Every structure is written in structure tokens, then in C-alpha cells.
Chain A
């Protein structure tokens, strides 16, 4: 028996990974020799669930692809359908959508930051970050009535308009969140132990980020300046000038910097949008009839989210969702070898993977739907790893 035949399972239920995947970590002492990743624990067949539904019904399914970025999936779906319809939403609708989008980015990054602090054992900052997140959730509750799932986006319009007093409340909250986030950011950068736990851990060089097709904060932390809000603007992003947070080293510390900077930048975007919120009525909702196919992408908190939809007889005939986590689901097998056990949760957390989003190995070929296990899928479709 070789020494690294000692296998430590991380997951599928582990405090290191908040979503169910299994990492079979082969160890030699404390050092990781090899990692084998097993997925498939949260496969819900969500694309299949979308099929056969009319455009308005499918929206509710789309919003449930992810529990953290519900608005993002709604928006990506709606953008795709509106692209097919060739519809340009009124300015107020676009503005409110932008606000919601940035609020979602803030809450997702704050949730992640708290989780990251928990992984390195700094429970106090974990509590502080999550306390700030609650303020963002209060904003959501004020606008949409929901804190996690919102269902506010509708095709061509929104379910609810903002009340008169809402912008003031949101501004107050996001300013407070941005101020506190700046304080915590400075605390993290000053705390030597935090820096030593994150610096040069899970480094993804720029070339590797490009090779794997990474997007979002992970790519930006590696120096790849890519952001769908800049390269393919939608809603009010073309009207607003904002900074793209980017790093160089591509390690866990850079990812922390990028995400916390994005929280502060999102707060600024919300302020700018709300200061110029058009005073008009949003159009009433009406059932849509959609035919044809289309695609769209949006910048989710984790990176580029892509939707492809094909409608036939006003029903979804085919849906394909590519979530940002999909591109880096297998990168763990490359990042972890050579690191110590203590770095495993830090690296996994620093990527902020969302497995319930990405587990969708359902393939349609020649009109026949086949459901594949992860192993079969990788072999058949030459998935990296």
C-alpha cells in the first residue's frame, strides 16, 4: 500500500463544502497528492423541467436554478425571451432591474466573504459580513417581498414597481453596507494571519484562467479583464460608468479583494441608478406568445451566465443553461495537488462554486433525451479533466 492511498473524503456533506460534491483527496501526510471529484448529488434535471412549459411558467423554474442568484437567472431568462421578441423594456424597468442585479451581486459576495472567513476560522468576521448581507436582503424584501426567491422579473416588465420611499431606504442601506465592507476589507488586509492563509493559495495564473474559459471574479482576480456588463451591456450598464475590479496574482487573497471591491462598486452603481431613476409607470404584465430561438448572457455574481432557449408552439422546446461554475468545476483537480489539507477548504471556497447551478448533465440528441452520469458525460463529450 502506498502512503498516498490514504484517502480523505471531503463531502458530499462537509463543512468545507456547502453544497454536495465529493472530493476524494489522496494524502501523503498533510500534503494532497491527487484529487478525484465526484458530482451528481444535486442533479435536478432543471433543463428538462423547463421544457414543455409556456414562457411565463418557465420563468418560475428558471428563477429556481440557483438559491443565491435567483434574480440573475430570472434576468437571463427574461433577456433571452425579450431578445427573441425583439423587445426593448422601458427605462424605469431597466433601471430597477439594474438595481436588483447589483443588490444580488452584493448579497452573493457578502455571503461568500462570510463563508470564506468561516473556512479560515475567523467566525467574528463571518458574523459581521452576514450581518451586512441582511441589510441587502432587507432591500430585496422592500422591493420584491421576498428575501431569497423574488420572482419580480416578468417578460417585458416587472411584477412590482418601486414605492416612492423605497429608493431612500435602499440608498441608506447600501451606503451603510459599502462603508462597513470597506472597514472589513481593510481589517482583512491588515490581519497578517488572514493574508498568510490566503496569499499564494489556489493560484490560477492568467494563462490557466484563459485556457479554462473562466469568467467573473475568478478570472478578474487572475488578471483577465472580462465582464459581461462591459462587453455586452444590458439594462443601464451602458449608461453607467463603473470600475471593473481586477487583480493579478489570481490567488485566494486576490479573489477576496476583487469580490469585496465589487460589493463597494455595486453600491456605487445602485446609488447612481437610483439618483437618475425615471419617473414613469411600468407597463402592465400580459401573457406572452414566443416562437423561435435566442440566447443571452448576463454577468452573474460568479461570472458569465448564458441562456439558450428555443420555443415551439409557445412552449419551451429546448433550454440550455451554462452557469459560470461549469467552467471551473473540474479545475479543483488541478489546483489542489501539492497543497496541504488545511488549504483544501480555502481553495474550494475561494472559487465560490455553485453545484446546484451546474449539475445538469442532460443531453438531447436527435430528439432523444439522455441522462448521463458525470463519468459518462466526461468520456462522451470530452469535458476537461
Chain B
């Protein structure tokens, strides 16, 4: 059903924003609060869209980075979960898209010239170098294990044979999605909103939407890899990961940058060792 996939992809920003509303509601319930309405993120984004942008700097990267950050993630959603397009070695394209989105996020902070944005970007860059490599190793493990060259080709439940890679992927998804304990790049009490400190109006709209898309993208990516093409498993996997992320967000304090780096390094080593194992076992076949 390519048309349905296309429609879902076009609607993915709405789904991501709605998922964010549900996420806030779930966390509020965990904290014994009533929480905002599920559609609250729509109101927030509508307000930002209508607000005037106050550029603090006349720099090309400062202007374009939030938009590109959001757009690259939107493009990534073409591959997973909606599979609007599929082509050989598309997983390399997917990896490129995730790296690019993180790079634009870092650029947004650096180009803002704010000390908070600069510090947030420096923190994010340190982590990005490690977690993007871990992500690549884990995804390649899945592709090699399934003996396929496309993401759509992962049809069986390869997660059963790739538990270490799956664990590394979950760890990376938590860091990428900026769950509270790993949100060192946007730790409000330490560096204000970090990268988005100097942004306003539509620039902030794209940064906020990008955050929502990123969480949706990573939960979808993990669900797609774990479910192996089975829709029911995909939905179950999505719900479990979503709830686990909310639980983690609500119950664990923020790590220091030092601890987060060690955590990401651990995920990196697990992913790389598992990839070596997969490649080694594969070479026997």
C-alpha cells in the first residue's frame, strides 16, 4: 500500500506531535499530575509559528540550521517506519540522515553565539561522535544478520540473535531522544534550553518540532528493526519502547556529562563487538 505509506509519511509530523502530547500525559500521570491536554504540543507549536522571529545574528547557519534539522529527520521517516522509498543500501542513507540531523543541531547551537548554545553544542558533539558510530554498528549488525541490503529486507525477528545490538540501540535512542538523564545538551537547570536559547518564532518551531520528530523517528526505527516487518510486533514494540522511555524520563535524574559519555561509550563497545561477532559468524556461512 504505497499510497497509504505516503499519506502516513506526510502526516508523520502530526503523529510525532501527537505522540509528544501523549508522552507528556504519561509522564504527568507517573508524577501523579493531571498533565496538559494531549493536543497541547499543537497549541505550543501554533503559537511559535505565529510569533515573530527575532534573529540575534545575521548568519546563514543560524537561519537555516533549525529548518534543516527538522527536514533531515522528516526525510529519514521516509525510510522508517513508512518505507515510502526503498533502495539497495538505504541503511547507509539512513545513517547519513541521522548524522546530518545531529550535525545541524550542533551547528544551530554554535552559530547562535550564545554561551549556553555553544556549551550545549560542545556537549552534543562529544556524545555525537560516539553514539552515531554505535548506531551505525548496531544497524549494520541487523542488516548483515538478516542477509539483506535494504531496511525493508529485515523480515525475520533478528532481534533474538542480536540482543547486544538491540541493547546498544535502545541506549543510543535514549541519548538521541534527549530523555532527561541524558539531556546534557539541553539540561535546563545547567545551561538553560541549550541550543535553542537564542531561537524564537519559526526557528524555535522547527527546533521543537525536530525534537518531537527525533523521538518518534528513533522509537519507530527501533520498532522496525525489532519487529522484522510484522505490524502487530511493530505496534507492541512501539508502545513498550514509548512507555519505557517515559518511565525512564520520569524516574531517573540527569547524569553528568562525564557519566553520559561513559554510558554512550559502553553502548559503542557493545555494538561494535556484536558487529564483529555477526561479521565473524557470517564469514563461516
Q: Is the CB of B254 within 8 A of A121?
A: yes
Q: Is the CB of A119 within 8 A of B189?
A: yes
Q: Is the CB of A345 within 8 A of B254?
A: no
Closest to A188 in B: B253
Q: Is the CB of B190 within 8 A of A345?
A: yes
Count of inter-chain pairs, beta carbons less than 8 A: 77
Asked whether A8 and B116 contact (CB < 8 A) given A121-B189, A131-B32, the answer is yes
Question: What A residues does B147 contact at CB under 8 A?
Answer: none
Q: Check B112 for interface membership: any CB of A closer than 8 A.
A: no
Tell me which residues from 83 to 113 in chain B have a Cβ below 8 Å from any Cβ of chain A: none
Contact segment of B12-20, B179-187, B216-224: B179-187
Q: Is the CB of A345 within 8 A of B189?
A: yes
Q: Check A191 for interface membership: any CB of B closer than 8 A.
A: yes
Question: What A residues does B192 contact at CB under 8 A?
Answer: 14-15
How far is the CB of B174 from the nearest CB of chain A, in Å?
A: 13
Question: What A residues does B259 contact at CB under 8 A?
Answer: 196
Q: Is the CB of B257 within 8 A of A30?
A: yes
Question: What A residues does B269 contact at CB under 8 A?
Answer: none
Q: Check A341 for interface membership: any CB of B closer than 8 A.
A: yes
Q: With the chains together, A327 CA to B183 CA distance in Å?
A: 35
Task: Render A5-27 as a binary contact track against B, CB cut-off 8 A, 1 for contact.
Answer: 01111000011100000000001
Q: With the chains together, A344 CA to B255 CA distance in Å?
A: 14
Select A16's contact among B122, B184, B189, beta carbons within 8 Å: B189
Task: Render B187-210 as a binary contact track against A, CB cut-off 8 A, 1 for contact.
Answer: 111111000000000000000000
How far is the CB of B213 from the nearest CB of chain A, in Å?
A: 23
Q: Is the CB of A123 within 8 A of B256?
A: no
How far is the CB of B132 from the nearest CB of chain A, in Å?
A: 21
Q: Check A127 for interface membership: any CB of B closer than 8 A.
A: yes
Q: With the chains together, A375 CA to B259 CA distance in Å?
A: 39
Q: Is the CB of A342 within 8 A of B184?
A: yes
Question: What B residues does A15 contact at CB under 8 A?
Answer: 188-189, 192
Q: With the chains together, A41 CA to B33 CA distance in Å?
A: 34
Closest to A30 in B: B257
Question: What A residues does B254 contact at CB under 8 A?
Answer: 120-122, 197, 342
Q: Is the CB of B189 within 8 A of A118?
A: yes
Q: Check A194 for interface membership: any CB of B closer than 8 A.
A: yes
Q: With the chains together, A64 CA to B67 CA distance in Å?
A: 48
Residues of A in contact with B, size category? 20 to 34
Q: With the chains together, A72 CA to B122 CA distance in Å?
A: 45
Q: Check A124 for interface membership: any CB of B closer than 8 A.
A: yes
Q: Is the CB of A342 within 8 A of B187?
A: yes
Closest to A17 in B: B189
Select A193's contact among B119, B189, B252, beta carbons within 8 Å: B252
Q: Is the CB of B250 within 8 A of A124?
A: yes
Q: With the chains together, A112 CA to B257 CA distance in Å?
A: 24
Q: Check A128 for interface membership: any CB of B closer than 8 A.
A: yes
Q: With the chains together, A194 CA to B33 CA distance in Å?
A: 22
Q: With the chains together, A120 CA to B184 CA distance in Å?
A: 11
Tell me which residues from 117 to 138 in chain A have a Cβ below 8 Å from any Cβ of chain B: 117-124, 127-128, 131
Q: With the chains together, A3 CA to B189 CA distance in Å?
A: 24
Q: Check B230 for interface membership: any CB of A closer than 8 A.
A: no
Q: Is the CB of A8 within 8 A of B115?
A: yes
Q: Check B30 for interface membership: any CB of A closer than 8 A.
A: yes
Q: Is the CB of A341 within 8 A of B190?
A: yes
Closest to A201 in B: B256
A-B contact pairs, 9 of them (CB 8 A): A15-B189, A27-B119, A30-B123, A121-B187, A122-B253, A127-B31, A193-B181, A194-B253, A341-B190
| Known pairs A122-B252, A341-B257 / 11 extra A-B pairs, C-beta < 8 Å | A6-B115, A27-B119, A117-B253, A120-B189, A121-B181, A121-B253, A123-B27, A123-B250, A127-B31, A342-B190, A342-B254
Which residue numbers of A lie inside 8 Å of B, CB to CB?
A: 6-9, 14-16, 27, 29-30, 117-124, 127-128, 131, 191, 193-194, 196-197, 340-345
Q: 7 shortest A-B CB distances, which residue pairs? A: A121-B254, A122-B253, A120-B253, A345-B189, A127-B31, A342-B256, A8-B115
